[in-house]
Amino acid sequence: MTPEEFRTAAHEIVDWIADRRIHIEQLPVRPNLEPGDVIASFPASLPESPAAAADVFQDFKVLIAPATTEVQHPMHFGWFPSNASLASILGDFASSGLGSLGISWESSPALTEVEEVVVDWMRQLTGLSDQWKGVIQDTASTACLVAMLAARERATEHSQTTGGLVGFERRLCVYTTNEAHSSVRKAALLAGYGADDIRLVDVDPWTRDMLPHHLEKLIAADVVAGSIPAIVVASVGSTGATAFDPVDRIVEIAGPRKTWVHVDAAMAGAAMVLPEERHRFEGIEGADSISWNPHKWFGTILDCSLLYLRDPDHLVRVMSTNPSFLRSTAGGDATQYRDWGIPLGRRFRALKLLFQLRIDGIENIQRRLRRDLENARWLATQFNALPNWKVVAPVRLQTVCVRHWPVGPDGSRIDDPEQVDRHTREWVRRINISGEAFLSPAQLDGAWIARISVGVEATERHHLEHLIALIRRAAEDRGAAA
């Protein structure tokens, strides 16, 4: 493809993207597809001759684009907001256009230093002190794995430089709760901790926040048994019911034992840009690492996860490679981000944040987040006022968890947990297959609920009013109850 051919084709794609955003409400939120449907629309092998860009683009429009769940749709309330602000998309284009190679400072000084600038801007915007140094990781899952590895090496006094974990004779314990994201357990297992040594700390039955006195007890018992308490992962805004583990108390308990504290604020971290919400993050200054995803509610297009460390030198010791062909002639002062994580080659991810911050502006982003918080509180009030409906977890931020109790033929409320579970899954399924809205069924204390995650950039109050009507129609219909 020549640059001139690229110019023509790229303009077409840009127009298509802009039009799609304008008309997104006319699309179903979710495609009605079975696994394998997309594969079946492709030839089994690559056609031999090259195609015109226009033909490939046509296939994209017809076969590919309609086969995605529209997470930018204002009626999308599933999982979590995965906003892709158009300004951040421009930054992503710019990054692709540069085609930079991020393997060292020297391979693209701007790639490294713009990341340093933007990550520090974000630190200031989220009210973190200047003791923190940050890096952009692809996802919070990776950030958690990096924290697990750093904690492992701290707990074993760099066993990697001697016999590794195999040669280390004491057990290493991980502490988190049942509310933690699945990526936490995965990271622990990948980092060499054993499933037998992952401790699930009790939570408060209503808020689902970690109970610090139970953490204290578990750690004490492990120490008596000769194990090392290596890391506590605090969910600060859990994905399910927005639990906030009390980091101030966790840090007090973990600190004296040099237990690493990793704060997983993947979803909720965006709220730190709102000064009035920062009280929820009390104590995080005492943690060892904090990660959160601008690529969720904040609106930076995937993938962009921030990881802040109190002692980056320790991480660099754990991750450092430095074979001679990569040694920078620029000397020791430049940041070498390859030593702050797992991959060698890095994309220019800072550009999407830079473009978003400068074009959208922090005030507009803050206004949008506040709108969503207000919308979620309003939604909760509406459900609590309806007969046989209940909000079943505290609404700390933008997620509202609801359950509906069906009514039997004689008009009396059905309380049998199995019937209520079946009913919940059925009415959520009906909404989701309709394509009119999308929400996630989830389990809370072993019972099914519907999670309504507010916060898509395009979602306004009238969309929530429409959602309530859809939900009531799907759930309150007597025929569906049995």
Which residues in this chain contact ligand PLP in the complex, by CB under 6 A? 80, 139-141, 181, 183, 235, 238-239, 264, 266-267, 293, 305
CA 479 distance to own-chain centroid: 37
The order of strands in the sheet holding 76-77 is: 76-77, 438-444, 447-453, 399-404, 389-391
Least distance in Å: CB of 424 to ligand PLP? 22
- Name residues whose C-beta falls within 8 Å of residue 19's C-beta, 6 or more positions apart in sequence: none
Least distance in Å: CB of 165 to ligand PLP? 24
Least distance in Å: CB of 426 to ligand PLP? 26
Nearer to ligand PLP, 149 or 267 (CB): 267
In the chain, the amino acid numbered 207 is: T
Nearer to ligand PLP, 235 or 432 (CB): 235
Nearer to ligand PLP, 182 or 324 (CB): 182
CA–CA distance, 218 with 214 (Å, rounded to integer): 6
Phi, psi (rounded to 5 degrees) for 399: -105, 135
**Are the C-beta atoms of residues 172 and 227 closer than 8 Å to each other?**
yes
Phi, psi (rounded to 5 degrees) for 128: -85, 145
Nearer to ligand PLP, 87 or 234 (CB): 234
Least distance in Å: CB of 456 to ligand PLP? 15
Nearer to ligand PLP, 393 or 474 (CB): 393
Structure tokens at 444: 């809370």
Least distance in Å: CB of 267 to ligand PLP? 3
Q: What residues form DSSP beta bridges with 172?
A: 228
Nearer to ligand PLP, 236 or 391 (CB): 236
Least distance in Å: CB of 141 to ligand PLP? 3
Nearer to ligand PLP, 181 or 403 (CB): 181
Least distance in Å: CB of 242 to ligand PLP? 9
Least distance in Å: CB of 303 to ligand PLP? 7
Structure tokens at 28: 């179903």
Least distance in Å: CB of 241 to ligand PLP? 11
CA–CA distance, 229 with 261 (Å, rounded to integer): 11
Nearer to ligand PLP, 228 or 287 (CB): 287
Question: Within 13 A of 346's CA, how many CA atoms are on the CB side?
Answer: 30
Q: Could you count the other beta carbons within 10 Å of the beta carbon of residue 222?
A: 20
Least distance in Å: CB of 235 to ligand PLP? 6
Least distance in Å: CB of 66 to ligand PLP? 24
Nearer to ligand PLP, 154 or 181 (CB): 181
Nearer to ligand PLP, 222 or 264 (CB): 264
Nearer to ligand PLP, 83 or 108 (CB): 83
Least distance in Å: CB of 179 to ligand PLP? 9
Phi, psi (rounded to 5 degrees) for 99: 60, 40
Least distance in Å: CB of 134 to ligand PLP? 15
Nearer to ligand PLP, 141 or 424 (CB): 141
Nearer to ligand PLP, 105 or 260 (CB): 260
Pairing label, strands 198-200, 172-176: parallel
